[in-house]
Amino acid sequence: MTSQRKVWDPRGRGPTARVRLAPRKGDLDGKVVGILDINKAKGDLFLERVAELLLERFPGLSIASYTKDTFSRPAPEELLKEVVRNCNAVIEGLAD
C-alpha cells in the first residue's frame, strides 16, 4: 500500500513537492536495521532513543550502529559498503 504525507521544509522555503514514502519493510523479525550517526551534536542521543523504541516494538530485530567521522563530508565509500552488506534497512538522523 502506498501512502503520501505532507513534509514541511524546516528551512521555510516555500512549497515542497509531493513525495512517495519508501516501501515499508514489513515484518522486521530477524532483520538488521542500521543506525547511522552523522556525528552532529546530540544526534547520538536521538538515534539511541530511536533504536530503543524499535527494539521495544520489534523484539526480533537487531540494531547495527555506525558513525561518520564528520557531518560535513559524505560517508566514506567503505562505510557505506559495510552498511549495505550488513543491514536490511538504515536510519540516518541528526540533531543540534
Domain extent for 51? 32-93
Q: Is residue 72 assigned to a domain?
A: yes
Mean pLDDT of 55-78: 93
Whether residue 16 is predicted with pLDDT greater than 70 in this model: the reply is: no
State yes or no: pLDDT of 45 exceeds 60: yes
Flag whether 22 is in a domain.
no
- Is the pLDDT at 55 greater than 90, yes or no? yes
In a domain, 69, yes or no: yes
> Which positions ≥6 away from 86 have C-beta within 8 Å?
32, 34, 64
Q: In total, how many domains does the chain have?
A: 1
The 3-state DSSP class for residue 93 equals: strand
Q: What pTM does this model have?
A: 0.72
For 31, residues 6+ apart whose C-beta sits below 8 A from its C-beta are: 25, 60, 61, 62, 88, 89
Tell me the C-alpha distance between 46 and 36, whole Å.
Answer: 11
Average pLDDT across the chain, whole number = 86
State the pLDDT at residue 26.
Answer: 79
Q: Cα–Cα distance between 33 and 57 in angstroms, integer?
A: 13
